[in-house]
Structure 1
Amino acid sequence: MKPIVSIIVPIYNVERYINKCIDSILSQTFKKFELILVDDGSPDSCGEMCDKYAKLDYRIKVIHKKNGGLSSARNAGIDIAQGKYIGFIDSDDWIKNDMYESLYKAIIKYDADISICDFIKFNENYDLSFKEDSRKNIEIWNNIEALEKLNTDNCGKIVIAWNKLYKKELWSDIRFPEGRIHEDVFTMHKILFKANRVVNTNKILYGYLQRSSSIIGTKFSLKKLDYIDGLRERINFYRKNNLKKLEEDTRVILCCSIRDYYCKLRNSNIENKEKYLKFLHALFNSNYMILKKSNITVSIKQNIVMKIFKYNPNLYVKLKNIL
């Protein structure tokens, strides 16, 4: 029987965590799913562990592939997914046993293309246990309203891929960018734009492990500047689709992000960092000029901060904590 939901789990070097992740998926109250485990050339025993699980449950499919990174692994799962809906789980996280039942019911009840849940963060020294979540406030957004959420303080919940259930058709012509980190920043605005309706359940159903060795937890590297490129691609996407307000708001966020990464780069030990600092400053100046020409309104404080960075970025670095 064809599955309703395809759950895709990219796997690389997580033998310490993978059992708990897979067990949390197999214990779902929603049973009509296939679980696609993508062994992304993992150097530990994860590949063998996946094969053992596949022998125990017919719903499990295993892909063994050459290491290509998170985006490549997710894309491999999307390519073979049979379900009408798709979900992603990171292999060091785990989920509440009614996550997919809740997300599926929300999509059906509200005739949505995407359903979203909330998540809780934990670290390796904290044994996560989900408590009953009585919050029941539901939010319904159209595609533009959902995209606007990417420019709010709660954007993290909206931009991540793994706390959602999607109609598979949304991914018909969209894949994650291979060779990049911050892959969701390059991707989620395209998916949200294609959605007619998005339902946000606000229920805490996903446990997100923050490891010191993860991409987010590692020290600064030039790869982290992929975040800047992701925002630039988003701005170009909005321009092509005549979404002027979203383009302008995202450009303000881009300027803020450039300043933030400039400070991180300045305080790093990256080789030839002066070259990259000059690039970031020039990129800021070009976007700042576009903002000025567009007469985009920013707060007085924001305007002062932007001018300080434009004319004296090193002074901005010194003043950052008090600005």
Structure 2
Amino acid sequence: MIFSIIMPVYNAEKTLGRTIQSVLQQTIKDFEFIIVDDGSCDESYKIISQYAQEDSRVRMIYQDNAGPGIARNKGITQSGGDYIAFIDADDYWENDFLETIIRCSDDKKADLIFVDAVTEYPNGEIANYLNIKSNAGATRERMLSYQMTGKLPWGMFKVIRRDLLEKVNVQFEGYSVGEEAIFSFEVLRNARNVKFSDKVIYHYVQNSNGQHTKGNKDPWRPMVMTMKRHLKKIGEYEKYKRSLNSLALKAISIGMYRCTAYSNVIDAIKAMSNLHKEYSEEFDLKAFDKENLDIATRCVLELLNCKAYLLIYIASRLRKRKQDKLRG
């Protein structure tokens, strides 16, 4: 069997049909589709069961709610394909996704294939294109730096050879946000042959229950702290310290955005100030890799340097209002 496709599902009844169909309609038919129901309490279980009855390639696993990372880990342990691909339950593929992977895998010699993607809103409006193949000419160290901070996107935009996963022996974390960060870093760090798809084949849908709603008011901190411990454990902390500081800045930017949840402006500004102070004590926020920062984080950084928390709050509120409208 060439491919094992793994999908975690939690309360995805509205999008599940399109996602499953996009996999079953692939031009390449040699695959198994492992769907892990992560304790859904809507009609997801029923929908998956129906597809499993109708198509022998669909295998359903049920677990009590533990998060998408743990669900993917369980799917991996039950898989048997030469390559492992991932898809989320509100996303979908072009029907030549697997065919493109085979074409780009260098006659199945590639350990890791990154795929180009388009980010879109539920109404079909395009948010942006993720031109991941633009990283093809970068050095491995630069790619790893990008992967750590998410500039080379985390998530499901990769297909991995089973041999590599068995060699690395790394799993997804149990976080609600950033559960794939260390997994992605280690897979890339250990890959001998990395390839990139030559076309957009993954559709990433930003819906109202997406990553921007998960976690608490500082959702990235557990992942950032774990990444710091991991780099020290593998002896790579000094090499990637500036990139780690960039990751911390991105985490602060996300935390500042989450502070818009406070209805009282004074409470929000106090929370922002505390967040800034706590990260400053743990990371050198003046020694970072600027190339790793997106425009939004750079803007937040400039305002943080002036401790202009009120301006950050106002800008974040305006951004949130626009994003919520687009996501419906």
Smaller-chain TM-score bracket? 0.7 to 0.9
Identity percentage of aligned residues: 26
1:99 deviation in Å? 0.7
Equivalent residue, structure 1, for 2:278: 283
Rate the CA distance shift 1:243–1:144 in 2: closer, same or farther, 3 A. Answer: farther
Q: Does the 8 Å CA contact 1:104/1:115 hold for their aligned counterparts?
A: no
1:256 deviation in Å? 4.7
Equivalent residue, structure 1, for 2:145: 148
Residues 165-184 of structure 1 aligned to structure 2 (within 5 Å): 165-172=159-166, 173-184=169-180
Equivalent residue, structure 1, for 2:21: 23
1:249 deviation in Å? 2.4
How many Å separate the matches in 1 of 2:299 and 2:258? 22
Select 2:240's aligned residue among 243, 246, 249. Answer: 246
Q: What SS does the corresponding residue of 2:14 show, helix, strand or coil?
A: coil
Q: Does the 8 Å CA contact 2:260/2:268 hold for their aligned counterparts?
A: no
Equivalent residue, structure 2, for 1:228: 221
How many Å separate the matches in 2 of 1:20 and 1:320? 35
Equivalent residue, structure 1, for 2:209: 213
1:313 deviation in Å? 5.6
Q: What SS does the corresponding residue of 2:261 show, helix, strand or coil?
A: coil
- TM-score for both structures, normalised by structure 1: 0.78
Q: Does the 8 Å CA contact 1:34/1:59 hold for their aligned counterparts?
A: yes
Segments of 5+ residues of structure 1 without an aligned counterpart are 129-134
How many Å separate the matches in 1 of 2:52 and 2:215? 38
Q: Does the 8 Å CA contact 1:142/1:196 hold for their aligned counterparts?
A: no
Describe the superposition over 1:209-232 as per-residue Cα deviations: whole angstroms up to 9, x where unpaired: 11123232x3xx753623233233
1:250 deviation in Å? 2.5
Equivalent residue, structure 2, for 1:160: 154
Greater Cα shift, 195-204 or 276-285: 276-285
How many Å separate the matches in 2 of 1:196 and 1:270? 50
Q: What SS does the corresponding residue of 1:10 show, helix, strand or coil?
A: strand
Rate the CA distance shift 1:277–1:53 in 2: closer, same or farther, 3 A. Answer: same
Describe the superposition over 1:78-100 as per-residue Cα deviations: whole angstroms up to 9, x where unpaired: 11011121111111111011111
Q: Does the 8 Å CA contact 1:74/1:176 hold for their aligned counterparts?
A: yes
Q: What SS does the corresponding residue of 1:116 show, helix, strand or coil?
A: strand
1:311 deviation in Å? 7.2
How many Å separate the matches in 2 of 1:93 and 1:225? 26
Q: Does the 8 Å CA contact 1:104/1:165 hold for their aligned counterparts?
A: no
Rate the CA distance shift 1:18–1:245 in 2: closer, same or farther, 3 A. Answer: same
Rate the CA distance shift 1:27–1:320 in 2: closer, same or farther, 3 A. Answer: closer
How many Å separate the matches in 1 of 2:218 and 2:99? 37
Q: Does the 8 Å CA contact 1:148/1:246 hold for their aligned counterparts?
A: yes
Equivalent residue, structure 2, for 1:70: 68
How many Å separate the matches in 1 of 2:303 and 2:107? 50
- TM-score for both structures, normalised by structure 2: 0.77
Describe the superposition over 1:198-251 as per-residue Cα deviations: whole angstroms up to 9, x where unpaired: 2122410011111123232x3xx7536232332333233334433534221221
Equivalent residue, structure 2, for 1:11: 9
How many Å separate the matches in 2 of 1:168 and 1:110? 11
1:31 deviation in Å? 1.6
How many Å separate the matches in 1 of 2:269 and 2:133? 51
Residues 251-266 of structure 1 aligned to structure 2 (within 5 Å): 251-258=245-252, 260-266=253-259
Rate the CA distance shift 1:111–1:312 in 2: closer, same or farther, 3 A. Answer: same
Rate the CA distance shift 1:87–1:270 in 2: closer, same or farther, 3 A. Answer: farther
1:52 deviation in Å? 1.7
Greater Cα shift, 272-281 or 239-248: 272-281
